[in-house]
Chains A and B, each alone.
Chain A
């Protein structure tokens, strides 16, 4: 029983093709390809070996411990050093020749503290055009432990969004304390001590009930029948009441 002559010939052709494939693959496919998945494992090493630019606040605090201790007690306790001083890994390796910048011009602080309606309520914001326009911020505020130089008198220091909306509304002439009792400690511990909100319908009714003695042109409703289930501010926004 012998094989037909074309079978060994074909077998040689197949063997050569497979050998060529194996040879080409071992030449073309990188050595580490497929070690952990369908990729070159050494690529992870080269990405991991990239240099860092931001050293991290722990590195800063090893030398600048006095400033760190001051910062941790102030309102900037969550703000890393390199937010203002820039990436400082080079300063960590060569502290003498590489000196970090300290931004002192007025353009810098408003990046966080300029008024923007999109910013969350309660975040301290100012209008840079109106807030002591010629003074650098650091004249009055220590950036490592910032506090308002005087405890804020006007609520708009933090509640700029409400203040600006109210300025556009029919309630423009009402001071905040008409409706809110503000404990003094709210100005120093804004989250722990909160102002009050009107808790009774009769409060708004003092101006808006049809029987109210107010002589202004305030819109009137019958407090007894006008959606008595709800407090007024659950539907109406008192800082910018609808006008229709």
Chain B
């Protein structure tokens, strides 16, 4: 009864015809779907500026020894010169903060002009419990929130563990600046794109260290490979108790601090 009703309203295919039609349809659509999805083809083609540089051989991080930082701000000045960062007091790839903890435990943090011109004397010397400098920069997280929120794929982690911004592809929406828990990103006032520390990627591919590491006069910044065992950074992590900033956020930062005070955020 019911079969007859249905056959009147719809021209039914039998099972064989249906399967044949379905296979034919899939066969036609598959190449189109592949073209649409465009699975990332891991080709051997090299994406690097220098010949002989293989990004898969590297995985970069940085160590910072708070006990060695003298707050001279040479790293800030060098970074600005090397990366053409605007020289005003609100755009920094790296900057130095001064922490002053007084005898009541009150914490004061300042960074006048990023520490580039030095620090004026603090209010009272006798009333201080402790005071120290903390250099900061992009943590080049292994699990970067800024990359996660980018709506267009303009910011990304390279295969050697550096978080970069594609200036030609960035639409300037500033989501990544909001997402970074370390305040490491800034908006370029003339290019109108997000900007940040590149770990001097253009130097790394030439076998040089980042400019801030090159000029640090006390060796407070240690640059190197996170995953290899015989590198300056590996030795730094072996010889010191290291911490990362805001570990509870699970961003897995790759800037490791030695002798870091618990008050540092």
Contacts and interface: CB of A to CB of B under 8 A. Distances in A.
B164 A44 contact: yes
Interface string B3-43: 00000001101100100000000000100100110111111
Given A54-B215, A116-B121, A168-B125, A4 B81 contact: no
Interface in B41-75: 41-43, 45, 47-50, 53, 55, 67-74
Given A52-B203, A111-B73, A119-B71, A39 B82 contact: no
Contacts of A57: 214
A25 B36 contact: yes
Contacts of B126: 165, 168, 240
Given A34-B40, A45-B49, A165-B125, A118 B35 contact: no
Interface string B161-201: 00010111100000000000000000000000000001001
B40 A43 contact: no
Interface string A99-111: 0000000000011
Contacts of A36: 40, 42, 47, 158-159
A78 B218 CA distance: 6
Contacts of A40: 153, 166, 168-169
Nearest to A29: B38
Contacts of A110: 118
Given A22-B36, A34-B38, A56 B209 contact: yes
Interface stretch (A62-70, A79-87, A187-195, A196-204): A79-87
Interface string B144-162: 0000000001111111000
Interface stretch (B128-136, B224-232, B233-241, B244-252): B128-136
Q: How large is the interface on B (under 10, 10 to 19, 20 to 34, 35 or more residues)?
A: 35 or more
A226 interface: no
Contact of A4 (B11, B14, B42, B214): B11
A217 interface: no
A116 B71 contact: yes
A98 interface: no
Contacts of A19: 32
B205 A48 contact: yes
A43 B118 contact: no
B217 interface: yes
Contacts of A116: 70-71, 118-119, 121
Contacts of A56: 208-209, 214
A80 B72 contact: no
Given A1-B11, A118-B98, A48 B201 contact: yes
Contact of B47 (A3, A35, A54, A240): A35
A2 interface: yes
B78 interface: yes
Interface string A32-56: 1111111111111111111111101
Interface of B: 10-11, 13-14, 17, 29, 32, 35-36, 38-43, 45, 47-50, 53, 55, 67-74, 78, 81-83, 98-100, 118-119, 121-122, 125-126, 128, 131-133, 153-159, 164, 166-169, 198, 201-203, 205-206, 208-209, 211, 214-215, 217-219
Given A35-B47, A36-B40, A53-B82, 15 more contacts: A1-B11, A3-B11, A4-B11, A36-B42, A40-B169, A43-B169, A45-B49, A48-B205, A49-B202, A54-B81, A78-B217, A79-B217, A111-B72, A119-B133, A120-B132
Sorted nearest first, the 5 A-B pairs with minimum C-beta distance are A48-B49, A39-B156, A43-B166, A50-B202, A34-B40
